[in-house]
Structure 1
Amino acid sequence: MTDALAAEWYKLRSIRSTYWVLAATALFLVVVLLLALQMAHIWDGLPAERRAEFLLRPLQEIGGWVAGLCLAVLGVLSVTSEYRTGMIRTTFAALPRRRTVLAAKAAVVGTVALVAGEAMTIGSFLGTRLIIGDRPFPDQQASIAHDLPGFVISGTSVAMFALLGLSLGALLRSTAGALVSVVLLWHVVPMLVFHLPEPWNERIGSVMPSALPRQAAGLGADNSIYGDVLSPGAAAAVMAAYVFVPLGFAALALTRRDA
């Protein structure tokens, strides 16, 4: 397993798409901080009655949401790039135990995504807090220690999306097909679910991937397109299912198909 991990780490570092994806994630963090700077400037010029309507939390959370898509793309490319170049045959010749290869790839991609996701979500949270300073935004009255755990959980969802992308890449063996599937799960399907009649929009919306971090953190789904019917434990279990169920199907497919 150690050799498989080392090989997958080397391969992930050797493809240019890894650096492009991580650079895009970092760039969006800069965008979030610049928007926070603009909001602070707007806040300073607002009358007192308008300031009560000014919320910062949606901006802080969008960083992790976009990071989920970026790292899902990395998960897809970590598999499909090998199929595109034919390198997958060399990989399976050197390491015939295909499930071990998939597990090593998942471990490497998941770790990179977790680190990047936490950096993005915590950076968005702390960076915007630093920028707004002592301005009393209505949704920023709680202490950093109180709000930080929710952003830490949001960071773990980035790894969930990355591993979901990896599984779809292994199942479909098509970059385009896997990326379309990721985008559908990331945002398109939740938008369609939002327009379902009640109570199905709330029930189905609660199990959408992007709805799970807030529920796992015990937060509500106010001002979002998602539902809020799961307990924190149930939401965490569904997040785990989004990781391990597709990986299980991917492992089964790898062992039953030719490279």
Structure 2
Amino acid sequence: MTAPTTRGALAGEWVKLRSVRATPLTAVVALAAALFIGLIDYGSAADNWDVWTAVQRERFDPVRYGFSGGFYVAVLAIGTLGTLAASSEYTTGQIRSTLAAVPRRGQVLAAKALVVGGVSALLGQLLAFLTFLLGRRALAGKHLAVSLGDPGVARAVVGCGVFLSVFALLGLALGFLVRHTAGAVAVLFGLFFLSPMLLAPLGDGATRFGLQSVFEGLGSTVASAGGTDRLGAAGCLATLAGYLAVALTLAALSLTRRDA
């Protein structure tokens, strides 16, 4: 009995995610922003390399550079997609039908998390690798390109893709907690951009655990100035896991203890 119900829940969540109008739009926005703006950023670096100072050249990260402006838009777009997967059901009232079809509320959350996580993981890795490959081509003229076999490069590219999928799941959790799309998206964006400010009162070094800092740490292959304002790759992944565990736990409690 359990297996068919699980398969049915997953199939239902997949159909619902595809039917949300914003799903293809956010995917297109993420793809266009990451690739187009990323390519512009890389081209700008290649064009200005000759006039950069020695310090600027030393701090230049040929991987991280492309995962900045345009990729931030992609991160926020995919996070919004995760939020909509939950909040849109509360907006339309469909959540009552969902819970009637799948009375085990934990199973609803698990099915949504698996579908949203799977889709965002595939999309995240696609965006990360395409951004890197386009950037590598743009930097080749100045002999600045690196390969996936160079130290830390593959880890940084994969790490940026992983962050996208985790951020989508954080959005999903907030969708269940806030139950209103605009409010959930506002909280998600605030966590990304304002978490360093919120963590600052906890003491020196606490800002390294902010989501934006974690994202920058995952995509970096060159040590930051001073070497202490970012976590290492293992620390970034552990921090992301902590964020996700707390968010999904709170979402599960909200879903099981509050009325639809």
Shorter-chain TM-score: which interval? 0.7 to 0.9
- What SS does the corresponding residue of 2:209 show, helix, strand or coil? coil
8 Å CA contact retained: 2:208, 2:214: yes
- Quote the Cα distance in structure 1 between the aligned partners of 2:243 and 2:92: 28
**Where does the alignment leave 5 or more consecutive residues of structure 2 unmatched?**
1-5
Measure the CA separation in 1 of the matches of 2:235 and 2:147: 27
Matched, 1:10 2:11: no
Work out whether residues 214 and 221 of structure 1, in 8 Å CA contact, stay in contact via their aligned partners in 2. no
Aligned mates of 1:13, 1:112 — CA distance in 2:
10
Is the contact between residue 46 and residue 141 of structure 2 (CA under 8 Å) also seen in structure 1? no
1:144 aligns with 2:151: no
- Shift of the alpha carbon at 1:57? 4.4
Q: CA deviation at 1:35?
A: 3.5
Matched-pair contact (CA < 8 Å) for 1:117–1:155: yes
Q: Which structure 2 residues correspond to residues 125-144 of structure 1 after superposition, within 5 A? A: 125-137=132-144, 140=145, 142-144=146-148
Q: How far is 1:15 from its partner?
A: 0.9
TM-score (norm 2): 0.84
1:227 aligns with 2:229: yes
Residue in structure 2 matched with residue 103 of structure 1 by the alignment: 110
Q: Is the 8 A contact 1:109 1:163 kept in 2?
A: yes
The equivalences for 1:41-56 within 5 A come to 41-43=47-49, 46=50, 53=56, 55=60, 56=62
Percent identity between matched residues is: 34
Count residues in correspondence.
Answer: 247
Letter in 2 for 1:112: V
After TM superposition, the structure 1 stretch with the greater mean CA deviation from structure 2, 213-222 or 77-86, is 213-222
Q: Is the Cα contact below 8 Å between 2:63 and 2:156 reproduced in 1?
A: no
- Give 1:210 deviation, angstroms: 2.5
Deviation of the 1:52 alpha carbon: 7.3
Give distance in 2, aligned partners of 1:50 and 1:217: 23
Q: Confirm whether residue 21 of structure 1 aligns to residue 11 of structure 2.
A: no
Amino acid in structure 2 at the alignment position of 1:242 = Y
Instruction: Report if aligned partners of 1:193, 1:204 keep a CA contact under 8 Å in 2.
Output: no
Cα distance in 2 for partners of 1:17, 1:174 equals: 15
Which residue does 2:171 correspond to in 1? 165
Q: Counterpart of 1:255 in structure 2: which amino acid?
A: T
User: What pairs up with 1:83-98 in 2 under 5 angstroms?
Assistant: 83-98=90-105
Amino acid at match of 2:209: V
Shift of 1:215: 4.3
Residues 34 and 216 of structure 1, relative CA distance in 2, 3 Å threshold:
closer
Q: TM-score, normalised by structure 1?
A: 0.84
Report deviation, 1:182: 0.7
Match status 1:212 vs 2:214? yes
What does residue 239 of structure 1 align with? 240
User: Equivalent residue for 1:30?
Assistant: 36
1:100-124 CA-to-partner distances (Å, cap 9, x unmatched) read 0111101111111111111122211
Per-residue Cα deviation, 1:89-141 (whole angstroms, up to 9, x for no partner): 1111111111101111011111111111111222111111112224133xx4x
Question: Which residue matches 1:177?
Answer: 183
Q: Which runs of 5+ in 1 are unaligned?
A: none
Deviation at 1:243, TM superposition (A): 1.3
- Corresponding residue of 2:256: 255
